Amino acid sequence: MWPLRLTWALAALGIAASSGPGPDPTTLPPDEEASIFADLTPAELRAVRTFLMSRPELGLSPSRGEPLAKNTLFLVELLPPKKRQALRYLDQGGPRPRRQARAVVFFGGQAEPNVTEFAVGPLPRPSSYRPLRFKGGRGVPFAARPITQLEYQLLHRALAAAMEPLYRLLRDTTGFWYHNCSQRCLTFSDVAPRGLAPGERRSWLVLQRFVEGFFLHPVGLEVLVDHRDPDPRRWAVRRLWYNGRYFSSPRELAESYERGTLAVARLPELPARQLYSSYEPRGHFTTGTPTAVHGAKVCEPQGRRYRLRGNRLEYGGWSAAFRLRSSAGLQLFDLRFNGERVAYEVSVQEAIAFYGGHTPAGMQTKYVDAGWGMGAAAYELARGIDCPEAATYLDAHHLYDADGPVRFGSAVCVFELPTGVPLRRHFDSDFQGGFHFYAGLEGRALVLRTTSTVYNYDYIWDFLFYPNGVMEAKVHATGFIHATFYTPQGRRYGSRVHSHVLGNLHTHLVHYKVDLDVAGTGNSFETMDVRFENISSPWSPGAR
């Protein structure tokens, strides 16, 4: 949909690798220096979980299964070494930094529930843990925790019970329903933040027809569920919005429909094929040029020109360690060109989307996507579509809202890409119809790529390395738009993209951490601007 580009002129990942034709670039042994930044291996993830589960004072229970009010291990990922320790090891032959994990624990089964982060180590055989303290010394309130699969299951159960009085309304107006449903079912999307004040945990749920691309099938009903209490039996529907009107309870909405005082929105029956929200190709081009044959492909006629040594990536003058952080995504460390470090870290940190709208879900939505685990939402890349067939594909392992490491096959890819634009070129004309010389260099770059499917959005994250010393960070947003139900008042806040669908106006903010170390660590940052001067021409006084 759009690229965001950051350009500067100036990698053992807990992974297994597979590649296309040609020599495997991953057969070399891992780089020892880069491995201090490598993601945790499945064995290390299991070791951290086993150690913490064995500590009686933590009182941890498995993540899966009820109740919600219990202590659980939510996330385990690498805790990178402090920069000073890492540079002492990399540049001065100092001791190798101790390998540690960052563990996030939900303490939901105690008098004062909270979320606490721990440093656990040393790996691979952890024997101690300590709380990670942050500025201000305050912990994270339990109500502000990321949502889990268990909580989604409980929300579904609570919503199914609450929608029972609305069965006739939903069946008559949409052909789908929520309560006691096995076919023609409704589903929901939830939005964040979950409240308007600290301590709240109240989510607006957008009901949608459960078909391909359900994000584009809102039915005109949004439900505010209060699910702060650790006991789901005390959860409650606080408000409803239907087709521009607010209600205090499902019963009130149902009675308005039965009395005939409700302005209903009847949705048309959906076609069996070529649904407007489907990815099924449809339509045709008017030029008649071939579309049913393969287009251009990336090939490597003489083999690969890059090398992977564990989580160390090397290409031309470039060398970088990389990882796929479960909570945030793709990150680079110790980035060098011709052996000289130009950046200690360039890493994805956060992606945020602010929405406007007329419905409560539209106006409330302010997504902070790391709360959905952007790195752990990196699913399998499709060969020939997400990356070229000739790319090298790397697996990743995450322990995120799970009771052990989960393998994400082919979650990262590496490939060399012809840019289609010369790196540089010049035609030296003699201005008499001939030329003195022509010179040019083919444009190409090495691409390190992953994706994050965060609900409706698919972010495609790239780091590109060019042979002239330029490194580029780029993100593309694709997938489905976050849509709400169309009302005439909603046109102030978006565009009508289908009969009952509003594409809401929104803004994306993507945050990178950029720690440049050009010619050493003593770098400063300043901005510069340009202003015009109106001066007298020295060779023609009076002319400005």
| Beta bridge partners of residue 474, listed in sequence order | 5, 462
User: Which tokens sit at 66?
Assistant: 């009820």
Give the whole-angstrom CA distance, residue 101 versus residue 48: 8
Q: Is 458 a catalytic residue?
A: no
CA distances from 260 to 254, 264, 485 (A): 10, 9, 21
CA separation for the pair 34, 90 (Å, rounded): 9
Residue appearing with tokens 């004309």: 429
Please provide the DSSP assignment of 142-169 as one string.
GGGSPP-HHHHHHHHHHHHHHTGGGHHH
Number of residues that make up the chain: 544
State the catalytic residue, choosing from 31, 39, 190, 369: 369
* CA distances, 368 to each of 10, 188, 436 (Å): 32, 19, 57
To the nearest 10 degrees (0 to 180), the angle between helices 250-259 and 167-174 is: 60
The alpha-carbon radius of gyration of the chain (Å, integer) is: 27
DSSP character at residue 126: -
- DSSP symbols for 224-267: EEE--SSSGGG-EEEEEEETTEEESSHHHHHHHHHHT-S---PP
**Nearest to 51, CA basis, from 122, 131, 142:** 122
**Distances, alpha carbon 272 to alpha carbons 172, 187, 278, 354, in Å:** 19, 19, 11, 34
Cα-Cα-Cα-Cα dihedral sign, residues 468, 470, 475, 476: negative
Q: How far is the C-alpha of 76 from the C-alpha of 46, rounded, in Å?
A: 9
Rounded to whole angstroms, what are the CA distances from 497 to 280, 360, 416?
18, 19, 37
Amino acid letter for position 486: Y
Given a contact cutoff of 8 angstroms between Cβ atoms, the answer to whether 11 and 320 are in contact is yes
Q: How far is CA 30 from CA 319, 321, 411, in A?
A: 13, 11, 19
What 466-469 contacts at long range (C-beta under 8 Å, 24+ apart), as own/partner pairs, is 466/423, 467/316, 467/317, 467/423, 468/423, 468/424, 469/9, 469/10, 469/317, 469/337
Is 369 one of the catalytic residues?
A: yes
d(CA 452, CA 60): 29
The single residue of 457, 459, 486, 493 carrying the catalytic annotation is 457
Which tokens go with 1?
Answer: 């949909």
Residue 515 class from Cβ within 10 Å (0-12 exposed, 13-18 middle, 19+ buried)?
A: middle
- Helix and strand numbers, DSSP H then E, in the chain: 6, 30
Q: Catalytic amino acids?
A: 369, 457
